[in-house]
A and B are shown apart, each in its own frame.
Chain A
Amino acid sequence: MKTWFVELVPPGWQWVMETIWAVVIAVIVIAIALLSVAIFNWLERKIAGRTQDRLGPHRVGGRFGWLQSPADGIKLLCKEDLVPTEADPILFRLAPYLGLTAAFTVFFVVPFADGWAAQQVNSAAFMALAILGMDVFGTVLAGLSSGSKYSLLGGMRAAAQMVSYEVPLGMCVVIPVMCFGTMDLNVIGEAQSGWFWHWGIFANPFMFVTFFVFLVCATAGCNRAPFDMAEAESELVAGFMTEYSGFRWAAFFMGEYTSMVVICGLGSILFLGGWNGPIPWTEWVWLSEHVHPALGWIGNCCGAIGFLAKIYILIAIMMWARWSLPRLRVDQVMTMCLKYCFPITAAMFLGAMLWMAAFPG
Chain B
Amino acid sequence: MAQELKTIELPIHTDEMMINMGPQHPSTHGVLRLVLRTDGEVVVDMDPVMGYLHRCAEKIGETVSPHQFVPYTDRLDYLSAMNMNLGFSLAVEKLCGVEVSERTRHIRVMVCELNRIASHLIAAGCYGLDLGSFTPLMYCIREREKILNLFEAVCGARMTCSYIMPGGIRYGDLPDGWVERCEQFVEEFLAVVPDLHHALTSNEILVRRGANIGVLSPEMAVAYGCTGPVLRGSGVAWDLRRHGEPIYTKMYDDYRFEIAASVGGSYPKDHVYPAIPPHAVLGDSWHRFYVRMIEAFQSALIIQQGLQKYKKSEPVISEPMKIITKIPEGDAYVETEAPKGQMGFYVVGDGTNILKRSRIRSSSFCNLSVFREISKGCMIGDIPSILGSIDIVLGEVDR
Contacts and interface: CB of A to CB of B under 8 A. Distances in A.
Interface of A: 48, 51-54, 149-150, 153, 225-226, 228, 232-237, 323-332
Which of A232, A234, A236, A329 has most B Cβ within 10 Å?
A: A234
B111 interface: no
A330 B383 CA distance: 13
A237 B130 CA distance: 11
Contacts of A235: 27, 380-381, 383-384
Contact of A330 (B41, B129, B133, B203): B41
Contacts, number: 80
A235 B384 CA distance: 7
A-B pairs, 3 with minimum CB distance: A327-B132, A326-B133, A52-B138
Interface string B121-144: 000000011111111001100100
Nearest to B142: A53
Q: Which of A232, A326, A329 has the most CB of B within 10 A?
A: A326
Interface residues of B, number: 30
Given A234-B27, A234-B384, A331-B41, A225 B379 contact: no
A226 B381 contact: no
B138 A327 contact: no
B326 interface: no
Contact of A326 (B17, B26, B128): B128
Given A329-B382, A331-B41, 6 more contacts: A234-B26, A234-B129, A234-B384, A235-B27, A324-B133, A327-B381
B379 A331 contact: yes
B381 A232 contact: yes
Nearest to B139: A53
A52 B135 contact: yes
Contacts of B206: 326
Contacts of A51: 135
B26 A324 contact: no
B153 to A, nearest CB: 23
A330 B379 contact: yes
B323 interface: no
A330 B43 CA distance: 13
A325 B200 CA distance: 10
Contacts of B26: 233-234, 237
B146 to A, nearest CB: 13
A326 B203 contact: yes
B243 interface: no
B165 to A, nearest CB: 36
12 contacts: A53-B142, A149-B18, A149-B20, A226-B205, A232-B132, A234-B129, A234-B131, A234-B132, A235-B381, A326-B133, A327-B381, A329-B381
